[in-house]
Amino acid sequence: MPPMRMDPGARMSQAVVHGGIVWLSGQIGAPQDDLAGQTRDCLAKVEALLDKTGSAKSHIIKMEIWLADLSDFDEMNRIYEAWLDPENPPARATCEARVRADGTLIEIVATAALL
């Protein structure tokens, strides 16, 4: 069975499902928002895409979080931990990276299993 591509665009699909796994593209928030707003928006987009593909945040295998400034780590974690399914924490990596030059402060990528 070939991969199923969700919301394909010119350079990427927002999600690809294959072999029981869902790979999401990086999700960003509105660049004019502060870190808290961008983080909430990213996580809402992750959750919506997982729902659309037949998965859920309880099935996330791995999260990758890129912060424009690692000093935002604690603030991001407060929002992330409130959103996370505490019974099913995924593997996770967080690093500092220049995300985009437009004011984007965070980008989140998720990989999940199908339900």
Instruction: Please report the domains of the chain, with CATH numbers, ordered by start residue.
Output: 4-113 (3.30.1330.40)
pTM: 0.95
SS3 category, 24: strand
Q: Any idea how long the chain is?
A: 115
Residues facing 6 on adjacent strands: 15
pLDDT of residue 56: 98
Beta strand extents in the chain (DSSP E only): 4-8, 13-18, 21-24, 27-28, 60-67, 91-96, 106-113
Q: How confident is the model at residue 46 (pLDDT cuts 50, 70, 90)?
A: very high
The whole-angstrom distance between residue 50's C-alpha and the CA centroid of its chain comes to: 10
